[in-house]
Structure 1
């Protein structure tokens, strides 16, 4: 391959990567629609949700059986398809199978923009999370659920409306598997119960 061909290939790769980065950038402004439906103004963004999950991976101790880096990578991949398909909620009336089809197609397009071994890694991480094929993927799903109820309680305090999102807590009850997250859920519920009592 001559130098001109190498330059053209490099330019094409740069254009593709910039397109990928533009898509990712949209997640900074894309609001999680479930909160919007509940009348929450200034609700969290998709990227804010993923960032919170990513920070929680640092809570894993050094002697954990889980791969902390893998968990971190999974948190920033798990909702990436939403930069194309948007935040599809159960209220949208889209069958679960169709939702997954759209997200799978979006991830394929995203990973093709990145290309090479990097794009392949992103695709593998996405599939790992979707199939819950590893302990790390299951842990990250716990983080996803925990951030949901953590945010719910945070909003209850900010809006001064104790128990406003009780239905979210009811829906998530008993769905946490990892001992670390179970302890966090227990502590959060205790704090929330105390807040509800003091607010009466």
Structure 2
């Protein structure tokens, strides 16, 4: 492989680094605004931690989907779930942004990465279904664990992504445990705590 091909891949990685500065609506335990890269890291850790409870799963494929699923947000940022409205779905813009990030990669990688992103977005495989469900689980964990600003809408999380978490038995079981924390945080927040 010549140096220009290596440089093209390095350029992709340099551009993808923007995900570290792309902020989400959640906060860490210390109160710092969470980045999309923070979320992606813990989603992959979540998958690895529970992989022994996910039978008949291509773990490498699942991890690739998790790493790539929000990468398009490096260009125009994350849109928090409560604000995902409008004529064009979030995924249309995010896919276009993702494609632009891939522009320096060789055709076979562009094709693989886009295929995995589409698989996730359209929930076309068992791995995509698990990734979608655990993506929601990671968000719920962070919202409960983080030091969120006053007025944070914990109650929204009681329904957030339920159709995805209900579709995966492990996610549904995790959700039942997490929803207890969410309900307690919502009640505490309503009391002005």
TM range (shorter): 0.7 to 0.9
Tell me, yes or no, if structure 1 residue 46 matches structure 2 residue 36: yes
Aligned CA RMSD, in angstroms, stands at 3.2
2:4 is the counterpart of 1:12: yes
Give the aligned partner of residue 151 of structure 1.
142
Q: Secondary structure at the match of 1:44?
A: strand
After the TM superposition, which of the residue ranges 136-145 and 168-177 deviates more from structure 2?
168-177
Q: What's the TM-score once normalised by structure 2's chain length?
A: 0.79
Residue 165 of structure 1: aligned partner? 154
Hey, what does 1:122 align to over in structure 2? 113
8 A Cα contact 1:29 1:45, kept in partner: yes
CA contact (8 A) 2:62 2:131 kept: yes
Structure-2 separation of matches of 1:92 and 1:197: 25
Q: How far apart, CA to CA, are the structure 1 residues paired with 2:35 and 2:10?
A: 21
Aligned to 1:3: none
Q: 1:69 to 1:196 in 2, by over 3 A?
A: same
175, 184, 193: which one aligns with 1:185: 175
Q: Which runs of 5+ in 1 are unaligned?
A: 1-5
The 3 A distance-change label for structure 1 pair 92 and 69 is: closer
8 Å Cα contact 1:74/1:125 also seen in 2: yes
Q: Give 1 or 2: higher strand fraction.
A: 2
Instruction: Work out whether residues 162 and 195 of structure 1, in 8 Å CA contact, stay in contact via their aligned partners in 2.
Output: no
User: Of the two, which has the highest radius of gyration?
Assistant: 1
Aligned twin of 1:78: 69
SS in 1 for 2:173: helix
Query: C-alpha separation between the residues in 1 aligned to 2:95 and 2:188?
Result: 46
Contact 2:119/2:128, CA 8 A, preserved across alignment: yes
| Counterpart pick for 2:55 among 47, 64, 73 | 64
Output one character per residue of 1:36-64: Cα deviation in whole Å (capped at 9) or x when no partner: 8xxx9521100111111111112122771
CA 1:161–1:62 in 2, change beyond 3 Å: closer, same or farther? same
In the aligned structure 1, how far is the partner of 2:26 from the partner of 2:158?
14
Normalising by structure 1, report the TM-score.
Answer: 0.76
